[in-house]
């Protein structure tokens, strides 16, 4: 029996599969199982349940974990995957400002099948493991090495004090790049937890807080943790690190907290680590009036605080939040969709600001930590769609015809084509404070400005009306040279292939 399956050249049935990649999910997953990766795929299926949308519809999921590693001090990253995937991932990471190199161990069919790729990865890890420069090295198997069963777990767990963390982040096991962040964060927390158990670890850079801390889970606008810290102070609590961390030693302080706030609710593997360390988890976030009131109460309960301490924090901040929301109202109907994991929180804030939000789509799955937000929204008649596909988001927008569509790039593009003012969630909404008094009213400026652009959208649409779309788009000197017979011929070929496939299935 062969040790490795080469999914670049063979499917589990042995048929050639030279075009495998993001769209060969089923074959890749079957190859991975054949190569002994069932355990990890089953764990991913539990942590990141799919359906109805289970195919990466945006960027490669591995971008999430890559970015988390690249943002950490004294951490090197090595990718193992097809050159085209690595090219795309390193391009995007540098586009987003990664100021360091992405390591790459290339392979070919031979090194993949014979196991030499694993030896090459081990050699690369030994080459760069310099304790003067690095605390850790993250090695990531992309789709093909995962499907082939390249055993990163057999890498040494540390070399001269440099930790080595190997993760598999295949597109056929991790549905979104948001959840891939959790794969790496969870793996690092798991490593750090074992270190804490084994003996003393490094103290935090700024020393240990004299108050019990709350660790925050999920990437946020930089001012948000400070705002949360201010809201925790009247309860005698302090804000701890934000996971994913920016430095290895922060992992220890993150674990050393009194409770974890799952601000982004999809960090399943990280939550498993915190629970194993005995830390209680609090879902939702301090957004808007109702969200902040409930969150402060839940945090207080997690620390078993007396009611007057919780009331002190609520009384200190809730009136200011109410005032800020009333001072910056939002009028209009908004559809909202995204893949960041904070969609439900943003929807709550928009509704408390006065907006009508009939639809919220998130590419992330439903978890216990988003249940309160979903219930709050559903009580107000909002249709909340977890694991929403691009088609779900677009059809909601087309049916509702909102005054503003907030969404991912293709949703925004479609919205603009329809003359609907649209805002890109990641760049324009995620890049604003959302928590407490700072978040209340912070969206109004950008949202109201976009809604008031309706006239401009209409005149642009009128201006471009008639320039064509799809294969008739663009500027033509004469009439397009249509060849409908080619299209008919191609349709016939596809039909014939489908019939042959069907007949094959019946044999
Ligand atoms: S690693 Fe990413 S880009 Fe490459 S095949 Fe997998 S999902 Fe697609």
For atom 4 of ligand 1, the residue with the nearest CA is 85
Give dist(CA 61, CA 53) in Å, integer: 14
| Ligand 1 binding pocket includes 81 (Cβ within 6 Å) | yes
Dist. CA 484 → ligand 1 center (Å): 35
Task: Assign residue 68 the CATH number of its domain.
Answer: 3.40.50.1980
Closest atom of ligand 1 relative to the 89 alpha carbon: 3
Nearest atom of ligand 1 to the alpha carbon of 56: 7
Give how far Cα 289 sits from Cα of 4, 299, 352, 402, Å: 55, 16, 8, 25
| Ligand 1, atom nearest to 142 Cα | 1
Q: Is the CB of 22 under 6 A from ligand 1?
A: yes
Distance CA 420, CA 296 (A): 37
Domain contains 5: no
Q: Is the CB of 142 under 6 A from ligand 1?
A: yes
| Ligand 1 within 6 A of CB of 32 | no
For the beta sheet containing 404-407, the strands, ordered from the edge strand earlier in sequence to the opposite edge, are 383-386, 356-362, 333-338, 404-407, 422-424
Residues 279 and 399 reside in one and the same domain: no
Number of the ligand 1 atom closest to the C-alpha atom of 170:
6
Q: Which residue from 24, 67, 80, 82 has its CB within 8 A of the most atoms of ligand 1, so it is best to mutate?
A: 82
| Residue 492 counted as domain residue | no
- In a shared domain, residues 288 and 339: no
Q: Can you give the pLDDT at residue 1?
A: 31
Is residue 379 located within the same domain as residue 350?
yes
Q: Say which DSSP state 354 is in.
A: T
237 Cβ below 6 A of ligand 1: no
Residue 169 CA, closest ligand 1 atom number: 1
User: Would you write out the chain's pLDDT as a tens digit for each of its 507 residues?
Assistant: 333 434 444 433 433 333 466 667 677 888 888 888 888 888 888 888 776 555 656 688 999 999 999 999 999 999 999 999 999 999 999 988 888 899 999 999 899 889 999 999 999 999 999 999 999 999 999 999 999 999 999 999 999 999 999 999 998 889 899 999 999 999 999 999 999 999 888 888 777 888 999 999 999 999 999 999 999 999 999 999 999 999 999 999 999 999 999 999 999 999 999 999 999 999 999 999 999 999 999 999 999 999 999 999 999 999 999 999 999 999 999 999 998 899 999 999 999 999 999 999 999 999 999 999 999 999 999 999 999 989 999 999 999 999 999 999 999 999 998 999 999 988 788 888 999 999 988 899 899 999 998 888 888 888 887 777 776 777 777 777 778 899 899 999 999 988 988 887 776
Judge residue 301's burial from the number of C-beta atoms within 10 Å of its C-beta, 0-12 exposed, 13-18 middle, 19 or more buried: middle
Residue 180 is assigned to a structural domain of this protein? no
- The pLDDT score that the predictor gives to residue 52 is 54
**pLDDT at 23 (0 to 100):** 64
User: At which of 290, 321, 352 does a domain end?
Assistant: 321
Same domain, yes or no: 147 and 264: no
Domain that holds residue 350: 328-462
Residue finishing a domain among 427, 443, 462: 462
**Single residue among 263, 286, 321 that ends a domain in this structure:** 321
Q: Note whether 316 and 343 are same-domain residues.
A: no
Judge contact between 251 and 262, C-beta under 8 A.
Answer: no
**Total tally of structural domains belonging to the chain:** 3
pLDDT of 17 reads: 35
Q: Does any ligand 1 atom lie closer than 6 A to the CB of residue 85?
A: yes
Q: Are residues 309 and 336 in the same domain?
A: no
The C-alpha angle with vertex 306 and arms to 301 and 310, in degrees rounded to 5, equals 70
374 and 426 together in one domain: yes
Cα of 194 from ligand 1 centre, angstroms: 31
Report the atom number in ligand 1 closest to the C-alpha of 82. 4
Instruction: Tell me, yes or no, whether 18 lies in a domain.
Output: no
In short, whether 21's Cβ falls inside 6 Å of ligand 1 is yes
Residue 485 lies in a domain: no
Q: How far apart are CA 285 and CA 298, in angstroms?
A: 10
Q: Do residue 290 and residue 398 come from a single domain?
A: no
In a domain, 139, yes or no: yes
Tell me which residue of 295, 290, 291, 288 sits closest to 310, measured CA to CA.
295
| Ligand 1 atom nearest to CA at 88 | 3
Tell me how far the alpha carbon of residue 224 lies from the centroid of ligand 1, in angstroms: 33
Q: What distance in angstroms lies between residue 178's CA and the mean position of ligand 1's atoms?
A: 15
Q: Ligand 1 centroid vs 406 CA: distance in angstroms?
A: 27
* First and final C-alpha spacing in the chain: 28
CA of 171, closest atom in ligand 1: 7
Q: What pLDDT is attached to residue 51?
A: 62
- Coarse DSSP helix, strand, coil percentages of the chain, rounded to the nearest 5 percent: 50, 10, 40
Cβ of residue 143 lying under 6 Å from some atom of ligand 1? yes
Residue 50, classed as helix, strand or coil, is coil
> Would 447 be classed as within a structural domain?
yes
Does 334 lie in the same domain as 262? no
141 and 74 both lie in a single domain = yes
Q: Are strands 422-424 and 75-80 parallel, antiparallel or unpaired?
A: unpaired
Task: List the residue whose alpha carbon is closest to atom 2 of ligand 1.
Answer: 60
Beta strand extents in 169-217 (DSSP E only) = 213-217
Question: In this structure, are 392 and 332 located in the same domain?
Answer: yes
Residue of 85, 144, 180 to test ligand 1 pocket, by largest number of atoms within 8 Å of CB: 85
Between helices 288-302 and 343-352, what is the axis angle to 10°?
A: 130
Residues 310 and 437 in one domain: no
* 446 Cβ closer than 6 Å to some ligand 1 atom: no
Listing DSSP states for 242-308 in one string gives EESPSSTTHHHHHHT-SEEE-SSTT-HHHHHHHHHTT--EE-S---HHHHHHHHHHHHHHHTT--HH
């Amino acid at each position: 029996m062969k040790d490795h399956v080469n999914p670049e050249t063979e499917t589990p049935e042995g048929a050639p599969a030279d075009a495998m990649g993001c769209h060969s999910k089923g074959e890749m997953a079957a190859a991975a199982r054949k190569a002994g990766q069932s355990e990890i795929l089953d764990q991913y299926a539990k942590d990141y349940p799919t359906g109805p949308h289970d195919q990466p519809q945006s960027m490669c999921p591995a971008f999430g974990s890559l970015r988390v590693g690249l943002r950490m001090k004294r951490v090197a990253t090595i990718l193992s995957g097809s050159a085209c995937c690595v090219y795309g991932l390193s391009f995007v990471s540098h586009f987003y400002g990664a100021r360091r190199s992405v390591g790459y161990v290339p392979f070919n069919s031979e090194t993949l099948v014979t196991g030499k790729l694993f030896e090459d990865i081990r050699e690369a890890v030994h080459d760069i493991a310099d304790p003067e420069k690095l605390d850790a090295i993250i090695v990531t198997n992309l789709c093909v090495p995962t499907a082939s069963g390249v055993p990163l777990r057999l890498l040494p767990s540390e070399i001269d004090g440099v930790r080595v963390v190997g993760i598999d982040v295949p597109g056929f096991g991790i549905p979104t790049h948001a959840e891939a962040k959790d794969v790496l964060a969870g793996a690092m927390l798991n490593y750090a937890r074992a270190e804490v158990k084994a003996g003393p670890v490094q103290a935090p850079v700024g020393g240990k807080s004299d108050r019990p801390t709350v660790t925050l889970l999920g990437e946020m606008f930089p001012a948000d943790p400070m705002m949360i810290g201010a809201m925790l102070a009247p309860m005698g609590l302090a804000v701890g690190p934000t996971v994913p961390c920016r430095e290895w030693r922060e992992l220890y302080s993150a674990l050393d907290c009194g409770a974890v706030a799952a601000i982004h609710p999809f960090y399943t593997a990280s939550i498993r680590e915190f629970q194993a360390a005995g830390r209680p988890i609090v879902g939702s976030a301090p957004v808007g009036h109702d969200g902040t009131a409930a969150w402060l109460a839940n945090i207080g309960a997690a620390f078993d605080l007396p009611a007057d301490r919780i009331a002190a924090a609520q009384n200190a901040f809730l009136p200011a939040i109410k005032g800020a929301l009333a001072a910056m109202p939002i009028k209009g109907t908004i559809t909202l969709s995204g893949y960041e994991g904070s969609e439900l929180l943003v929807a709550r804030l928009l509704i408390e600001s006065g907006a009508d939000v009939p639809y919220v789509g998130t590419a992330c799955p439903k978890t216990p930590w988003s249940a309160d937000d979903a219930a709050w929204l559903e009580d107000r008649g909002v249709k909340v769609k977890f694991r929403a596909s691009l088609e779900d988001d677009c059809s909601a927008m087309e049916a509702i015809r909102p005054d503003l569509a907030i969404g991912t790039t293709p949703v925004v593009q479609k919205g603009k084509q329809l003359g609907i003012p649209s805002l890109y969630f990641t760049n324009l909404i995620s890049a604003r404070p959302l928590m407490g008094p700072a978040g209340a009213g912070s969206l109004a400026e950008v949202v109201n400005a976009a809604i008031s652009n309706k006239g401009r959208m209409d005149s642009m649409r009128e201006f471009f009306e008639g320039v064509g779309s799809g294969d008739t788009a663009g500027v033509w000197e004469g009439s397009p040279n249509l060849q409908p017979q080619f299209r008919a011929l191609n349709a016939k070929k596809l039909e014939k292939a489908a019939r042959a496939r069907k007949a094959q299935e019946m044999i």
